[in-house]
A = this chain, B = another copy of it.
Amino acid sequence: MATTRFDVLGIGNAIVDIIGRAREDFLLRHGMQKGAMVLIDEARARSIYAAMGPAIEISGGSAANTIVGVASFGGSAAFIGKVRDDELGRTFGHDIRAAGVAFPTSPAGGGASTGRSYILVTPDGERTMNTYLGAAQELGPDDIDAETVAASAITYLEGYLWDPKNAKDAFLKAAAVAHEAERLVALTLSDAFCVDRWREEFLQLIRGGIVDVTFANESEIKSLYQTADFDTAVAALRRDAALAVVTRSEQGCWIVSRDGTRRVAAFPIERLVDATGAGDLFAAGFLFGLARGVDLATAARLGALAAAEVIQHLGARPETSLEALAQQNGLPA
Q: A-side interface residues toward B, CB under 8 Å?
A: 20-21, 49-50, 52-59, 68, 86-88, 91, 94-96, 98-99, 313-315, 317, 319
Contact, CB under 8 Å: A55 / B87: no
Q: Which of B21, B54, B313, B314 contacts A95 (CB 8 A)?
A: B54
Copy count, this protein chain: 2
A50 proximity list for chain B (CB < 8 A): 94
Q: Which of B49, B58, B99, B319 contacts A94 (CB 8 A)?
A: B49
Task: Report Cα–Cα, A314/B99, bound state, in Å.
Answer: 18
A98 and B55 in contact, given A21-B319, A87-B86 (Cβ under 8 angstroms): yes
Give the distance to chain B from A284, nearest Cβ to Cβ, in Å. Answer: 14
Contact, CB under 8 Å: A98 / B313: no
Most chain B beta-carbon contacts within 10 A, residue among A54, A86, A95, A313: A54
Contact, CB under 8 Å: B54 / A56: no
Q: Which of B20, B49, B53, B56 contacts A315 (CB 8 A)?
A: B56
Most chain B beta-carbon contacts within 10 A, residue among A57, A58, A87, A94: A57
Given A54-B94, A57-B91, 19 other A-B residues pairs in contact with their CB atoms under 8 A: A21-B319, A49-B94, A52-B98, A53-B99, A54-B59, A54-B68, A54-B96, A54-B98, A54-B99, A54-B317, A55-B94, A55-B95, A55-B98, A56-B57, A57-B57, A57-B58, A87-B87, A314-B314, A314-B319
